[in-house]
Amino acid sequence: MGYFERDVLVIQPAVALTASGGQDWHNHLSERVMSGQARTLMLDMSQMSFLDNAGLISLLTALRLAHHQKKRLCLCSVPPAIQMVLELAQLDSLFEIVEPLPLPQAA
């Protein structure tokens, strides 16, 4: 569900961030932000299929926690449907959206 890449903790949610399926994800994300593992957390959204109001709240909570911890939280590989939700909620300018990191190389 996550890996380190150059002092960046990449977190890959594999579930839709919704009220019904997102509470475990919300807790996991909060734990990752609060841990001292990395100063930059990147949410790889490439496997996300859906995001509702509860999912937006989870993302906003994680962003607030990251700022409080003086960490950077950014989104990458945001699917068009999720990008549209962020734009409609006028949150696309609040979140840092970056290009995806290259996949880790096998040793």
Residue 13 sits in a domain of what CATH number? 3.30.750.24
- 68 pLDDT band (50/70/90 cuts)? very high
- Give the separation between CA 25 and CA 61, rounded to whole angstroms: 12
In a domain, 78, yes or no: yes
* Strand blocks (E) in the chain: 2-4, 8-11, 40-44, 72-76, 96-98
Whole-prediction pTM value? 0.78
In a domain, 107, yes or no: no
Q: What is the pLDDT of the chain when averaged over all its residues?
A: 80
In a domain, 7, yes or no: yes
In a domain, 103, yes or no: no
For the chain, what is the radius of gyration of the CA atoms?
A: 13
What total of structural domains would you count in the chain?
A: 1
- 48 pLDDT band (50/70/90 cuts)? confident
- Model pLDDT, residue 1: 45
Quick count: other Cβ atoms within 10 Å of Cβ 36?
Answer: 7
1-42 pLDDT per residue, tens: 444 455 788 888 766 666 666 567 778 778 888 887 788 989
